[in-house]
């Protein structure tokens, strides 16, 4: 059974990946799935490379947390997306509350980027250079950077990153820019701003923190991707995908809607060559950031909190598989019925957490002692 990254590669994408975080790496079950490079060919540190961790006091750098994730990815043969250099959030007070002249803050940005990008030189497929610079109406967000430097902080940051590593892709990254509207126009403005200033910007990262039932349609998603390519970047990516329920627990029909929403994003990326990959913002609901930031919301990822694959997993995997085999990734999303998995073979055993059934599955169906083959959805049963 081919896994998400393998299928995405076979379909012409560069990767299918996941974010992760340091604390989770002590959870053996969690790690056993994350480290599978056929499942996740790309890793993003969820926190460890942010300014508050990497330069907590001026001029004193610490890369311990980021390095742990970078070496995890490297030892498993996974690409690293690096995240994030200049952002108003998770920014230490010495930066956000400092009293700066334009020259001083420029120097602070340059020093931060030279050190961090220099430290990770050669390790990052891409860097999120500027993160979340826009308000919902497409104007620039108020931040210490904007207050002191106006929009010039954006090309300053891109130039500093380019100087520190010539081979990494430089991205502008934001949320609510997957669909059309003012923030999409703001993103296009940023691409042009950097280029007009003589800077290099390679990509737009669409975070894609979406809501079940309110995800833009595949055709809107596709046309927005194309608008960024027309504006002058060579690639785009879905960098932090999760699709949350606003109220919990999800209903069966809600899970089907979520699957269809994940399907729209997957198909949109497949439909445009310049979309290089999809990263989910962690893979299991057990470690999703959503419940802590949007109280009452959650269940946003492809695996539930017990590591069972959700219907959305099956949909994403089926769409990637169809595209990988030239079967037409843009035809109908498979619909679920409530049939139980068919036993196909009992002459072998499946380890705990492994797949033991599901539509189209032809492997072992007997679970190792201590676990039972448990129906998860039509496409997946698992030894639990």
Please identify which residue in 207, 314, 317, 382 interacts with ligand XIL, judged by CB under 6 A: 207
Name which of 222 and 240 has its Cβ closer to ligand XIL.
Answer: 240
**Rg over CA atoms, the chain:** 21
Number of residues that bind ligand XIL (CB under 6 A): 7
Q: Does 46 bind ligand XIL (CB under 6 A)?
A: yes
Q: Residue 369 burial by CB count (10 A; 0-12/13-18/19+): exposed, middle or buried?
A: exposed
- Helical ranges in 213-251 per DSSP H: 218-231
Binding status of residue 47 toward ligand XIL by CB under 6 A: yes
- Closer to ligand XIL at the Cβ: 35 or 81? 81
Burial class of residue 227, CB neighbours in 10 A (0-12, 13-18, 19+): middle
Catalytic residue positions, numbered = 132, 240
How far apart are CB 99 and ligand XIL at their closest, in Å? 27
**Under a CB-based contact definition with an 8 Å cutoff, are residues 199 and 168 in contact?**
no
Residue with smaller CB distance to ligand XIL, 47 or 308 = 47
Evaluate whether 66 touches 22 at the Cβ level (below 8 Å): no
Q: How far is the CB of 69 from ligand XIL (least distance, A)?
A: 13
- The whole-angstrom separation of Cα 106 and Cα 74 is 33
* Residues 122/95, Cβ–Cβ less than 8 Å: no
Number of Cβ within a 10 Å radius of residue 214:
12
Phi, psi torsion values for 238, nearest 5 degrees: -90, 115
Residue with tokens 């737009």: 204
Within 152-191, the residues that bind ligand XIL by CB under 6 A are none
Residue whose Cβ sits closest to ligand XIL: 289
Q: List the helix and strand counts (H, then E) for the chain.
A: 13, 14
Report d(CA 359, CA 180) in Å as an integer.
37
Site for ligand XIL in 117-136 (CB under 6 A): 131
By beta-carbon proximity to ligand XIL, the closer residue of 62 and 325 is 62
> What six digits make up the tokens of 349?
């055993």
45 binds ligand XIL, rule: CB under 6 A = no
Minimum distance, C-beta of residue 281 to ligand XIL, in the bound complex (Å): 6
Eight-state DSSP code of residue 73: H
The CB-of-227 to ligand XIL minimum distance in angstroms stands at 21
Q: For ligand XIL, what does the binding mask look like between residues 271 and 290, x meaning CB under 6 A?
A: ------------------x-
Q: Is 266 near ligand XIL (CB under 6 A)?
A: no
Q: Shortest Cβ distance from residue 209 to ligand XIL (Å)?
A: 6
Interacting residues with ligand XIL between 321 and 360 (CB under 6 A): none
Q: Please report, as ranges, the residues that interact with ligand XIL according to CB under 6 A.
A: 46-47, 84, 131, 207, 240, 289
């Amino acid at each position: 059974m081919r896994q998400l990254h393998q299928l995405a590669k076979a379909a012409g994408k560069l990767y299918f990946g996941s974010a992760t975080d340091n604390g989770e790496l002590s959870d053996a079950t969690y790690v056993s799935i994350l480290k599978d490079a056929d499942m996740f060919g790309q890793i993003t540190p969820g926190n460890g490379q942010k300014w508050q961790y990497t330069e907590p006091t001026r001029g004193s750098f610490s890369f311990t947390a980021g390095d742990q994730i970078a070496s995890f990815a490297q030892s498993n043969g996974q690409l690293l997306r690096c995240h994030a250099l200049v952002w108003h959030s998770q920014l230490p007070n010495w930066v956000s509350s400092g009293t700066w002249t334009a020259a001083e803050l420029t120097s602070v940005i340059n020093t931060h980027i030279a050190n961090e990008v220099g430290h990770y030189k050669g390790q990052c497929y891409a860097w999120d250079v500027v993160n979340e610079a826009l308000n919902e109406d497409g104007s620039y967000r108020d931040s210490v950077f904007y207050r002191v430097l106006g929009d010039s902080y954006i090309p300053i940051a891109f130039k500093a990153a380019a100087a520190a590593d010539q081979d990494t892709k430089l991205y502008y990254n934001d949320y609510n820019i997957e669909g059309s509207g003012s923030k999409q126009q703001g993103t296009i403005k940023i691409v042009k701003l950097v280029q007009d200033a003589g800077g290099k910007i390679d990509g737009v990262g669409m975070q894609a923190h979406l809501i079940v039932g309110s995800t833009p349609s595949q055709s809107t998603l596709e046309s927005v991707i194309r608008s960024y390519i027309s504006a002058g970047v060579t690639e785009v990516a879905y960098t932090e995908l999760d699709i949350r329920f606003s109220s919990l627990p999800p209903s069966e029909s809600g899970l089907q809607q979520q699957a269809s929403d994940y399907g729209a994003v997957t198909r949109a990326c497949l439909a445009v060559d310049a979309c290089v990959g999809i990263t989910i913002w962690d893979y299991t609901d057990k470690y999703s950031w959503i419940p802590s930031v949007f109280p009452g919301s959650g269940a946003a990822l492809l695996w539930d909190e017990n590591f069972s694959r959700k219907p959305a997993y099956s949909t994403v995997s089926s769409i990637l598989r169809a595209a990988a085999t030239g079967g037409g990734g843009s035809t109908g999303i498979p619909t679920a019925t409530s049939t139980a998995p068919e036993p196909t073979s009992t002459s072998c055993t499946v380890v705990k957490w492994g797949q033991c059934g599901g539509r189209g599955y032809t492997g072992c169906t007997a679970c190792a002692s201590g676990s039972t083959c448990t129906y998860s959805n039509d496409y997946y049963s698992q030894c639990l």
